């Protein structure tokens, strides 16, 4: 059957999932903070189980005991089945989970606006409960991982660096962050996502992007796939620590306790931490109501394709997650073929990851414009207008704008296989190819 073509048309929308790699600086967050705090006291060992070590600047490892002091610049490592709870100088908590390694790189708790806490998490998980530094200078209270930076908003949270040997098809290598109280901001790969209490964020390690043949490549061309996203559920590798019940109680009173200690030390009253709502954290605009779409009579492939793409484009502009999810089959595995240092690479990702990454891209774009220069729609082989169960839709989209102050222009071919289910057209296959 000869494809029917639609005249070019213009819409302000997001072109599914791809942003051209050349528009972006280096992906991984590998900043090296100044270490003027090295050698200063960071925390005391409050609780301990098993073998937890610190390595000094000479490279010598020492086994920690309760009451010991951990200093800025020392590497802390917990053996398997071992853990420690460190109480920092601002009465915050850093709980070291089994197998975790981290370095406190900057720390000052003097009751001043210059107070700071910067931790570098190498692997494994911590539970971090912020003390008064989270009240005085939350902008300099960060956790740096190989693939992300985590900022806080007055918080009890659990950052987790999942290494390659623990990654699988369900949980990719990268940085996770589970928020128990307050909120965090997960920044990675040119974008960020706000994580509210009870949610988990994820930032994929760009050096370990999984492609179709199971190999790994550094993929710089899939900005939206690499952007941090919110997960639908808490990963099962998050398990409570031996001291978590005690830490839960501590977390409930930490704001009052740390503020009292701060006032006792300096006489300065800290600014209370405001309650942060999910709407404030996400900063997502309210979606307008989806316009009523007239039912399609008969089986005109072009009309079906145009109607489906139009709903998809409008929903992205409105950030209407419900509508977007409703346009894709729950079991869909979307594909994207992009240029990489090794030629062309194909990545796969599930529906929720696709939707979240697409919407998160909006926040990082300026002067965004997109136009579809063509649209084709045909019935697949074996399909007839009498059965009208499936339609193949192809569209070339060109987008341009600014990302991080740098211009980009991008062209992609989008291909969808639509299937009619209960009177609704759903995409059961999706493939975007960088041109």
Give the pLDDT confidence of 133-145 residue by residue, as tens digits. 888 888 889 999 9
Rounded Cα–Cα distance for residues 192 and 173 (Å): 17
pLDDT of residue 4: 42
Compute the mean pLDDT over every residue in the chain, rounded to the nearest whole number. Answer: 78
Options 3.90.1170.50, 1.10.10.10, 3.30.465.10, 3.10.450.50; CATH of 4-22+287-434:
3.10.450.50
Q: Are 27 and 189 in contact (CB under 8 A)?
A: yes
pLDDT of residue 370: 72
Chain centroid, CA 428 distance in Å: 25
pLDDT of residue 339: 64
Please report which confidence band the pLDDT of residue 175 belongs to, taking 50, 70 and 90 as the band edges: very high
Q: What is the mean pLDDT of residues 197-221?
A: 61
For residue 85, how many other CB atoms are within 10 A of its CB? 26
Highest mean pLDDT among 94-103, 144-153, 180-189, 400-409: 94-103
Rounded Cα–Cα distance for residues 381 and 141 (Å): 58
Options 3.40.50.300, 1.10.20.10, 1.10.10.10, 2.60.120.1440; CATH of 31-198+234-264:
2.60.120.1440
Chain centroid, CA 391 distance in Å: 33
Rounded Cα–Cα distance for residues 25 and 12 (Å): 25
- Is the pLDDT confidence value at 342 over 70? no
Q: What is the mean pLDDT of residues 287-296?
A: 56
For residue 362, how many other CB atoms are within 10 A of its CB? 17
- Is the pLDDT confidence value at 363 over 80? no
pLDDT of residue 364: 58
**Domain ranges within the chain, ordered by starting residue:** 4-22+287-434, 31-198+234-264
Q: Note whether 4-22+287-434 and 31-198+234-264 share their fold.
A: no
Q: What is the mean pLDDT of residues 31-45?
A: 75
pLDDT of residue 56: 83
In this predicted model, which residue has the larger pLDDT, 31 or 354? 354
pLDDT of residue 328: 92
pLDDT of residue 358: 66
Instruction: Kindly report the length of the chain.
Output: 435
pTM above 0.95, yes or no: no
Read off the pLDDT of residues 115-171 as tens digits, 9 standing for 90 and up.
Answer: 999 999 999 999 999 998 888 888 889 999 998 999 987 789 999 999 988 988 788
């Amino acid at each position: 059957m000869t494809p029917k073509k639609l005249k070019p048309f213009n819409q302000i929308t997001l072109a599914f999932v791809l942003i051209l790699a050349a528009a972006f600086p280096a992906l991984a967050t590998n900043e090296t903070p100044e270490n003027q705090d090295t050698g200063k006291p960071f925390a005391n060992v409050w609780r301990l189980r098993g073998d937890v070590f610190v390595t000094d600047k000479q490279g010598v490892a020492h086994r920690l005991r309760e009451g010991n002091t951990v200093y800025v610049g020392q590497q802390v490592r917990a053996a398997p089945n071992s853990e420690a709870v460190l109480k920092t100088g601002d009465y915050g908590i850093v709980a070291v989970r089994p197998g975790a390694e981290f370095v406190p790189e900057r720390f000052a708790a003097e009751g001043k606006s210059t107070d700071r806490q910067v931790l570098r998490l190498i692997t494994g998980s911590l539970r971090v409960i912020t003390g008064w530094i989270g009240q005085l200078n939350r902008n300099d209270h960060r956790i740096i991982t190989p693939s992300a930076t985590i900022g806080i908003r007055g918080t009890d949270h659990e950052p987790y660096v999942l290494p390659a040997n623990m990654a699988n098809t369900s949980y990719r290598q990268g940085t996770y962050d589970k928020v128990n109280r307050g909120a965090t901001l997960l920044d990675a790969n040119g974008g960020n996502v706000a994580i509210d209490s009870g949610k988990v964020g994820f930032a994929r390690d760009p050096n370990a992007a999984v492609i179709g043949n199971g190999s790994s490549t550094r993929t710089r061309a899939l900005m939206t796939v690499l952007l941090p996203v919110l997960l639908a559920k808490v990963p099962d590798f998050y398990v409570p620590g031996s001291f978590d019940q005690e830490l839960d109680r501590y977390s409930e009173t930490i704001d009052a306790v740390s503020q009292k200690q701060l006032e006792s030390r300096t006489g300065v009253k800290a600014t209370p931490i405001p309650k942060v709502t999910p709407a404030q954290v996400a900063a997502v605009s309210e979606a307008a109501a989806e316009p009523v779409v007239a039912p399609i009579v008969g089986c005109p492939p072009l009309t079906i394709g145009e109607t489906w793409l139009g709903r998809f484009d409008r929903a992205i502009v409105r950030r209407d997650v419900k509508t977007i999810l409703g346009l894709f089959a729950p079991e869909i595995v979307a594909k994207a073929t992009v240029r990489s240092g090794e030629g062309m690479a194909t990545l796969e990702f599930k529906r929720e990851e696709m939707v979240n990454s697409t919407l998160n891209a909006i926040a990082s774009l300026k002067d965004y414009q997109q136009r579809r220069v063509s649209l084709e729609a045909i019935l697949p082989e074996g399909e007839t207008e009498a059965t009208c169960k499936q339609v193949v839709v192809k569209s070339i989209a060109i987008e341009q704008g600014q990302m991080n102050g740098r211009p980009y222009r991008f062209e992609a071919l989008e291909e969808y296989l639509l299937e009619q289910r209960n009177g609704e057209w759903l995409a059961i296959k999706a493939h975007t190819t960088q041109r």
